Amino acid sequence: MSAFPNSADLLHVLPELIWCVFGALLMLLQPLTQSRRFLTIVAVMGAILGVCGNFYSVHNTGTAFSGLIAADRFSIFFSHLIGLIAIMVILGANSYLERERLADAEFYALVLFATAGMGVLASAQELLTAFIGLEMSSISSYILAGYRRDVLKSGESSMKYFLLGSFATAFFLYGIALVYGATGTTNLLRMDITAGAESTSILLKLGLALILIGLGFKVAAAPFQIWTPDVYEGAPTPVTALFSAGPKAATFALLLRIFADVHAATQFWFYAFWILAALTMFAGNLGALLQTNVKRMLAYSSIAHAGYILVAFAAVTKLSADTNIGAGPAYAAVAFYLLSYALVKVGAFTIVSQFGGAGEKHLSLDDYAGLGERQPFVAAALSLFLLSLLGLPITAGFFGKFYVFKAAVDAHLIWLAVLLAANSIIGAYYYIRLIVIMYMRDPIPEVAATTPIRFPVVVNVVLAIAVIGTLWLGILPNYALNYLLKPGLINDSQSQITQMK
Amino acid sequence: MVPTNYYLILSAIIFGLGVVAFIFKRNVITIFMSIELMLNAVNLAFVAFSQAKHQSDGQVFVLFVIVVAAAEAAVGLGIIILMQRVRHSLNVERVDLLKL
């Protein structure tokens, strides 16, 4: 084995490489051109080419860089998902940046760097790569959160995100250090093999607990969710769209991979996930009830959705610990949920970013009164997204929630399933409230005086992607599900052990 | 030779001090320093384990942590300067526009 990576290794991380190269390219191009359109085209091209860069991994699954990166179907799925989020965010941000008079090259570059980081995070098979990916995406996110730097709220959001994010990273790292001390490796696949009889040691348990705390911060699981509403509200709305979808998907992907590979984690984390899931669902839904600001309401709703996903995680732990058949359907449930959720959240935040108007002034629920009459298509799209978040049939959210519910029942987590259903009912209140305001109330005079906001073509493209995706996954979920349910989704430790023998 | 446990206890104490300082301090620079303290506690733990196991993995990890911490510091100090410019204060309690 040579120390220099061979071409196969590089091809396995082609999407991340393309995203990084285009990010750097955008910064180089910026002084040379004044054209916002040109820079946007370059950025979108970069994001799309990055997704296309998966072609090699699709045909050659395996591992790269001596096991640092996994190029299995699981990471390919997340690479596509994260790339799709990046494409939608860049397209949706274009007119926003112009309206707020913000520089766009750096913005796109940071989005692409963050995307590359998330890609690394989702395919990391070693805690070292996971750490690098996490920090790539986090550091870009800190800057993006404060991108409207003249606005007090934006700077505040950036600072809160930075301080709490770094705090969480320190916990994550300390956890890695302890796990390393217990097992002698940071490679997820080798942990089970080397840990052996020691796998129940206190050091390993403490390390896993700290890793869970660190990642819990990143996915906004209660009681580590306090920063979420503030950061989401203060950040520019296209950035909020990215935050609510991207890092969450990538971090959940890493957690799933830790489950698949490290047996000690599945045994140890069950109760933690049960409690986290219950707390997070209630914290998100009860918090959302009180909100009058749309961005904050959607922020709380994303906490609630993290809670629903954590229910599936509790099911995964239970299923992998109790039975030998594995937790394949529960893994698929998580991945499918993240896909359906990301589409909807990016779509909804894109509408909010357009509708906010210059300086993001129109963000309260009352500003949406009469939208159904004034802008019927936008109102219909937003209603569809809200119904999908609520989990009504023929939307993607229905199947997402259905499979999570099914996983919980399969794992005999009846109480958690009951809590999930109860929370969906609480959620119905604030989602439907917004729909009612849009369709049944007259617009407030101040808003009625303004002309309806014309959405640029690219934003309509984003909304079309989100709407079609939501309906498609809601009516024909099989295509995505079959991909996720086929055996061998993740390189797990079992297959690795058999290979070694 | 100093036993590994001593290093680990020291590292845990430093990490704990970092957490306490993060929670109770009000000056954003001090808070930032407490995060650095926590990261260095992590580095100490890595090196100690690495030494105990006669491996170099942990030491490599430390190098990565140092590099990333430097990148984080660059961004973090930028954010702190932004805060000083727009608010003329480094006290985190005055950063309170966003709340319930």
pLDDT-derived band at A262 (thresholds 50, 70, 90) equals confident
Has residue A200 got a pLDDT over 80? no
Contacting A residues, span 218-277, partner chain B, CB-CB under 8 Å: 229-230, 233-234
Decide if B96 is inside a domain: no
Q: Region A458-470: what's the mean pLDDT?
A: 92
**pLDDT tens digits for range A207-260:** 889 999 999 999 998 888 889 999 999 999 999 999 999 999 999 999 988 877
**pLDDT tens digits for range A141-174:** 999 999 988 888 888 899 999 999 999 999 999 9
- Characterize A148-166 residue by residue with b for buried, 16 or more Cβ atoms within 10 angstroms of its Cβ, and e for exposed: bbebbbbbbbbbbbbbbbb
Decide if B84 is inside a domain: yes
Q: Region A122-134: what's the mean pLDDT?
A: 92
Write the burial class of residue A215 (CB in 10 Å: 0-12 exposed, 13-18 middle, 19+ buried). Answer: buried
Has residue A271 got a pLDDT over 90? no
Q: Which of A128, A170, A290 is opposite residue B38, by nearest beta carbon?
A: A170
pTM above 0.90, yes or no: yes
DSSP state string for A162-188: HHHHHHHHHHHHHHHHHHHHHHS--BH
Average pLDDT in chain A? 87
Asked if residue A112 lies in contact with residue A22, where contact means CB atoms within 8 angstroms, the answer is yes
Has residue A263 got a pLDDT over 80? no
Compute the distance between CA of residue A353 and CA of residue A239 in angstroms, rounded to an integer. 10
3-state secondary structure A223-267: CCCCHHHHHHHHCCHHHHHHHHHHHHHHHHHHHHHHHHHCHHHHH
Q: Which residues of B touch A143 (CB under 8 A)?
A: 75, 78
Nearest to A229 by CA among A289, A168, A311, A178: A289
- Give the side-chain half-sphere CA count within 13 A for B44: 18
The pair of structure tokens assigned to B3 is 């036993």
pLDDT at A501: 42
The pair of structure tokens assigned to A360 is 């993001």
User: From residue A486, how far is each of A3, A237, A341, A367, A469 by CA, in Å?
Assistant: 35, 37, 22, 46, 22
Angle between helices A152-183 and A188-195 (to 10 degrees): 30
CB contact under 8 A, A167 and B22: yes
Q: Which residues of B touch A156 (CB under 8 A)?
A: 83, 95, 97-98
CB contact under 8 A, B80 and A159: yes
Decide if B49 is inside a domain: yes
pLDDT at B95: 74
In chain B, the residue whose alpha carbon lies closest to the alpha carbon of A146 is B79
Compute the distance between CA of residue A188 and CA of residue A200 in angstroms, rounded to an integer. 16
Residue B48's domain comprises 26-91
CB contact under 8 A, B95 and A159: yes
Min CA distance, B72 vs chain A (Å)? Answer: 6
Decide if B19 is inside a domain: no
Chain A, chain B: beta-carbon pairs less than 8 Å apart: 114
Q: Region A10-39: what's the mean pLDDT?
A: 91
Whole-complex ipTM: 0.95
CB contact under 8 A, A163 and B31: yes
pLDDT-derived band at A116 (thresholds 50, 70, 90) equals very high
| Interface mutation target, options A65, A106, A128, A167, chain B, most CBs of B under 10 Å | A167
Beta bridge partners of B91: B27
Q: Which residues of B touch A230 (CB under 8 A)?
A: 98-99
**pLDDT tens digits for range B60-100:** 999 999 999 999 999 999 999 988 888 888 887 777 776 65
**pLDDT tens digits for range A101-113:** 888 889 999 999 9
CB contact under 8 A, B75 and A159: no
- Characterize A407-423 residue by residue with b for buried, 16 or more Cβ atoms within 10 angstroms of its Cβ, and e for exposed: bbebbebeebbebbeeb
The domain total for chain B is: 1
Out of A40-49, A190-199, A357-366, A454-463, which region has the weakest mean confidence (pLDDT)? A190-199
Query: What percentage of residues in chain B have a pLDDT greater than 90?
Result: 61
| Interface mutation target, options B24, B50, B80, B98, chain A, most CBs of A under 10 Å | B98
| Interface mutation target, options A144, A180, A201, A293, chain B, most CBs of B under 10 Å | A180
Min CA distance, A8 vs chain B (Å)? Answer: 24
Q: Between residues A412 and A327, which one has the greater pLDDT?
A: A412
| Interface mutation target, options A148, A156, A185, A224, chain B, most CBs of B under 10 Å | A156
pLDDT at B89: 81
Any chain B CB within 8 A of the CB of A181?
A: yes
Has residue A197 got a pLDDT over 70? no
Has residue A194 got a pLDDT over 80? no
Q: Which of A131, A150, A162 is opposite residue B75, by nearest beta carbon?
A: A162
Contacting B residues, span 60-99, partner chain A, CB-CB under 8 Å: 60-61, 64-65, 68, 71-72, 75-76, 78-80, 82-83, 86-87, 92, 95, 97-99
Decide if B59 is inside a domain: yes
Q: Which amino acid is at A85?
A: I
Compute the distance between CA of residue A10 and CA of residue A64 in angstroms, rounded to an integer. 8
**pLDDT tens digits for range A390-409:** 988 888 989 999 999 988 88
For residue A471, which phi and psi values (nearest 5 degrees)? -70, -40
Has residue A493 got a pLDDT over 60? no
Write the CATH number for B86: 1.10.287.3510
Q: Between residues A302 and A322, which one has the greater pLDDT?
A: A302
Decide if B8 is inside a domain: no
Q: Which residues of A touch B76 (CB under 8 A)?
A: 142, 162, 166
Has residue A123 got a pLDDT over 60? yes
pLDDT-derived band at A196 (thresholds 50, 70, 90) equals low
